[in-house]
Amino acid sequence: MLNIDFQIFEHSVQKQLVHLLPHTVSYNRLVELMQAITLPMSIFLKTCYQVLNHRN
């Protein structure tokens, strides 16, 4: 019963917030995007870390 209540709540929240987040993607697409950006993001963060450490 709790699962059904949560699904109803989730559906109502999604309907109310869809205009605030018009470009959301599915979970599967999110996983694909995360896999594609992991290496570039790691390189970017490492570069930022190195730049900040050289200021000290």
Q: Quickly state the pLDDT bin for 4 (edges 50, 70, 90).
A: confident
Q: Which two tokens stand for residue 4?
A: 């059904």
Q: What per-residue confidence (pLDDT) applies to 9?
A: 82
Q: What is the pLDDT of residue 1?
A: 54
Given a cut of 70, whether residue 56 has pLDDT beyond it is no
- Whether the predicted pLDDT of 55 surpasses 80: no
Contacts of 33 (CB under 8 A, 6+ apart): 25
Amino acid at 52: L
How many Å apart are CA 9 and CA 3, to the nearest integer? 10
The pTM score is 0.50
pLDDT, tens digit, for every residue of 5-48? 878 888 888 788 878 877 888 889 999 999 999 999 999 999 99
